[in-house]
Every structure is written in C-alpha cells, then in structure tokens.
C-alpha cells in the first residue's frame, strides 16, 4: 500500500495529527522523530522538521527516500499577504517560490538560480481533493501562491517586496523547499496553511496568540483529505 507523508515544521503542527491517528510507532533518524501510523486504513509517516528551508528539506527527503512515501502533504500556519485572508483561513498553494533566494546582482529574477525555477507547482489532483473536502465541510479555501524564506516576516516593507516580486498570497518558512525536493524526486505534494498572522508589525504577537489554533485547523483538514487519497 502507498504511504502518505504528512509533515509540519513545529511540534504544534503535528500534535493534532498524532492525537487522532492509530498504531503509532516512533523512529529516531537524523536528529529527528518520525511517526509511522495508520488512519482510516491508510499508512502514514508523520514528522515535524524544525523551522526553515534546510530542516524541512532534510525531513522531506527522509520521508521520501528512507520511508518510501509516495505522496507528501504539508500542514501548518502562514502569514497572510492577500488581504482576503484572515486569521484561521485556509490557503492551498498552487505554486511556491523562495522569496529570499537572490542572485539578482547577476541579472536574474528574484527567486531564480540557474537550472532551477522561480515557481514550483503543487499536484493538481491533490488540490482537487482539498477543494472537494472544503466543499463537503462548507469551508472556504483560497488557492494561491505561497512564498517561503528563512525569515519570520513582521514588516509591511518586506511583505510589499514579496507581494510585488512574487504576487504571493501568503508566506511561511518551509513550503517551497519541500516543493523543490518533491518535484526533483517526482513525488506529488500538497501544501496547506492556516493563517496565524498578517506578517505586519504585530505578527509576532498574533503568531503567539493564534498559531496553535490555526495549526489545528490545518491539521484537521489534512486528515480529512487522507481518506480520499489513493
């Protein structure tokens, strides 16, 4: 049977999953914990990576290469750029980019390095599954661009930069690196985020207040999707 990887960046992003799955078996590998589990007859491997592009790349690679997962779902929180996104709202990434990747001094676009691409697209089939789950549960969900970087954004100036150069709807710190790994290894992936803040001056305070609740909203939605994934 195919194995589905579900990853987050922080403990709070996977704890709601671990509370609901069954037959949990923890495996220690590469300074991290991986949880094999089952849910509604599906085999899962769940892990949180730690924050940022490097740790999330390591965890995504491990889930695919060591644990043999054939689909990867990312669940977590994000800062909103699109003003339609309010705290607790869900966004699914149709494409992702690295907003802090910058060799523009050599005439390249922000987010581009030779032999790479500015945007990596997520799996359209998994996005359709998400839309069907949203419809079934009468939840509204936005599909848009997610920008990733190794920085917690808490300024309108940086938000503007990311909005102007990438037309991104939300930002976070792991999605695009996971996307690059899955794309390179030809594994379908999906990134879901619930909004915890709006990446402005108040972002730190909002994040502390809303992160746990938003992480739960995202995790519960991901588990609803698992049933419909082959």
Active site residue 197: yes
Q: How many residues comprise the chain?
A: 230
Size of the site for ligand ADE (CB under 6 A): 14
Active site residue 65: no
The answer to whether 74 touches 190, Cβ cutoff 8 Å, is: yes
Task: Name the residue with tokens 């195919």.
Answer: 2
| Element spanning 22, H or E | strand 22-29
Interacting positions 57-86 with ligand ADE (CB under 6 A): 77-79
Residue 172 near ligand ADE by CB under 6 A: yes
- The region of 10-18, 34-42, 161-169, 170-178 touching ligand ADE under the rule CB under 6 A is 170-178
The answer to whether 93 touches 191, Cβ cutoff 8 Å, is: yes
- The region of 29-37, 63-71, 86-94, 171-179 touching ligand ADE under the rule CB under 6 A is 171-179
The answer to whether 216 touches 170, Cβ cutoff 8 Å, is: no
Residue 185's CB is within 10 A of a number of other CB atoms, namely: 13
Q: How far is the CB of 227 from ligand ADE (least distance, A)?
A: 27
Q: How far is the CB of 1 from ligand ADE (least distance, A)?
A: 33
- Closest residue to ligand ADE, judged by C-beta, is 79
Selected catalytic residue, list 89, 100, 169, 197: 197
Please identify which residue in 173, 182, 219, 223 interacts with ligand ADE, judged by CB under 6 A. Answer: 173
- The three-class DSSP label of residue 129 is helix
Cα–Cα nearest to 3, from 12, 16, 27, 11 = 27
Cβ proximity to ligand ADE, 39 vs 210, nearer residue: 210
The answer to whether 148 touches 52, Cβ cutoff 8 Å, is: no
* Site residues for ligand ADE per CB under 6 A: 77-79, 152-154, 171-173, 196-197, 199, 203, 207
């Amino acid at each position: 049977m195919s194995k589905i990887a579900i990853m987050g960046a922080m403990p709070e992003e996977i704890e709601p999953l671990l509370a609901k799955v069954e037959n949990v078996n923890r495996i220690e590998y590469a300074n991290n914990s991986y949880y094999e589990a089952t849910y509604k007859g599906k085999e899962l491997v769940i892990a949180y990576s730690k924050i940022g592009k490097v740790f999330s790349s390591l965890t995504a690679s491990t889930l695919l290469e060591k644990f043999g997962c054939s689909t990867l779902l990312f669940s977590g929180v994000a800062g909103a750029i699109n003003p339609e996104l309010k705290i607790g709202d869900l966004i699914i990434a149709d494409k992702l980019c690295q907003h802090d990747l910058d060799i523009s001094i050599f005439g390249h676009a922000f987010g581009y390095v030779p032999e790479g691409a500015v945007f990596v697209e997520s799996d359209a089939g998994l996005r359709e599954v998400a839309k069907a789950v949203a419809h079934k549960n009468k939840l509204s969900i936005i599909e848009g661009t997610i920008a990733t970087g190794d920085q917690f954004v808490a300024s309108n100036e940086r938000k503007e930069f990311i909005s102007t150069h990438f037309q991104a709807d939300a930002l976070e710190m792991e999605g695009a690196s996971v996307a690059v790994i899955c794309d390179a290894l030809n594994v379908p992936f999906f990134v879901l985020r619930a909004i915890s803040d709006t990446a402005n001056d108040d972002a730190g305070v909002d994040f502390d207040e809303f992160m746990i609740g938003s992480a739960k909203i995202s995790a519960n939605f991901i588990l609803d999707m698992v049933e419909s994934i082959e």
